[in-house]
Amino acid sequence: MLSSVIGSIGTAINIIATILCMRCPGMTLGKMPLLVWLNLVMAGLVILAVSPLSAAQIMLLIDRYLGGHFFDTQAGGSAVIWMHFFWIFGHPEVYVLVLPAFAFASEIIPVFSRKAIFGYPVMVLATIAIGFIGMSVWAHHMFTVGMSAGANTFFVLSTMAIAVPTGIKIFNWVATMWGGKLRFEAPMLFCVAFLFQFLVAGLTGVTLAVAPLDWQLGNSYYVVAHFHYVIVGGILFTIFAAFYYWFPKAIGKRYNEALARLHFWLFFIGFHLTFDFMHVPGLLGMPRRIYTYEPGRGWDIWNLLVTVGVVFQAAGILIFAGNLIWSYLRGKAAGNDPWDAWTLEWSTSSPPPVYNYAAIPVVRSRRPLWDLKHPEDPDWRYE
């Protein structure tokens, strides 16, 4: 675990140095694709959040192998401080996962709405705000430990505050779609579902941020439903979107669109069956981390629905894997730019050559490929 932490920090340093020091001519920070911006903030969070985990792990190793007393309550140590150190990593880690998901949505939604992203500078600022506020919300995982009223109040307010920049992002994605010429192909279907599901995940997050409600719902299936809404409904859906969006570029073949849409609908139905209904037994008091439950507690029908949803999700995943394998072997050639997109990767061949570009391109706007396709009306006149 310690070595994987060191690997993560090394990768983050590499990503930051690559982004800041190896941009093509003309690509100022204000002209970088949002995909790059969000991954830059993500890498910064890895450096600030994963390092404390390695520190805490060194302390744990000292306790276990050298007879230390960091978390040994009999020698004056504190087990609660371990929880603090763990969650100083644990919560920002959620943003490390979700920022790349936001990054995918920020690339895909504009292309399938045929509009430039709405409010680019605000999107960047909201991302940085999420990075900062995300570092100061960790103890909302510890309301049930019994902290002081002052600490509880601080972490309630900081946790609710992070909903603001996240909400700004959702509004900007919706505003990007507003009045656009929408194309509902597989990547866009997954992104639209992501928008609504991530909104619900954020709202249940705000309910859990209310400390007294958290004392009631902590360690129940409501929490499990909430974070699966984030990880599956938010992150996994955009990962599927990204797979379909960049598969033609990475492999050079088209996937089967009909199968992809079938995957979407099966997974969408399965996801909602499983995780919508999982909130209910949680609210009814069903605790997590128990291997079995007695019948007759009123949770049976809800858990049955949750289980039925899994079948749909599994079928969707099988179709997804089959589609990609079949398309890899037999798919039609994709061409350089199947989506009529605007970022630089679509200007080169599919898959791109190992040297990327024979001549390093020069960019003048956030949509360099639009400028090339429409020399009569380039973006740089308006940015």
Q: How far is the CB of 316 from other proteins (least distance, A)?
A: 32
Q: Please, what is the minimum distance in Å from the beta carbon of residue 38 to other proteins?
A: 17
Query: How far apart are the C-alpha atoms of 241 and 371, rounded to whole Å?
Result: 26
What is the nearest approach in angstroms of other proteins to the Cβ of residue 70?
6
Cβ proximity to other proteins: between 7 and 298 the closer is 7
Q: Kindly list the residues in this chain that would bind other proteins in the complex (CB under 8 A).
A: 9, 12-14, 16-17, 20-23, 25-26, 47-52, 54-56, 58-59, 62-63, 66-70, 72, 75-78, 81, 85, 88, 335-337, 347-349, 357, 359, 361-362, 364, 368-369, 372
Q: Taking a C-beta distance cutoff of 8 angstroms, is the pair 142, 83 a contact?
A: yes
CB of 48 to other proteins, least distance (A): 6
- The structure tokens listed for 43 are 């890498």
Residue placing its CB nearer to other proteins in the complex, 96 or 236: 96
Least distance in Å: CB of 240 to other proteins?
26
Distance (Å, whole) CA 79 – CA 63: 12
- Contacts of residue 48, defined as CB under 8 A and 6 or more positions apart, other chains included, come to 92, 135
| Three-state secondary structure readout of 126-161 | HHHHHHHHHCCCHHHHCHHHCCCHHHHHHHHHHHHH
* Choice between 1 and 22, CB closer to other proteins: 22
Q: Which is nearer to other proteins, 329 or 359 (CB)?
A: 359
Residue 137 CB, nearest distance to other proteins (Å)?
Answer: 17
| Shortest CB 169 distance to other proteins, Å | 25
Question: Among residues 72 and 257, whose Cβ is nearest to other proteins?
Answer: 72
Q: What's the Rg (C-alpha) of the chain?
A: 23
Q: What's the rounded Cα separation, in Å, for the pair 126 and 64?
A: 42
> What whole-number distance in Å separates Cα of residue 19 and Cα of residue 24?
10
Measuring CA to CA, how many Å separate 263 from each of 118, 147, 314, 348? 29, 45, 10, 29
Q: How far is 206 from 199, CA to CA, in rounded Å?
A: 11
In the bound state with other proteins, the residue whose beta carbon lies nearer, of 71 and 267, is 71
CA distance linking residue 9 with residue 15, whole number of Å: 10
Task: Give the integer Cα–Cα distance in Å for 264 and 182.
Answer: 17
Closest CB to other proteins among 4 and 216? 4
Count the helix, strand and coil residues of the chain and give each as a percent rounded to the nearest 5. 70, 0, 25
Give the nearest distance from C-beta 214 to other proteins in angstroms. 24
Residue number with CB closer to other proteins (287 or 351): 351
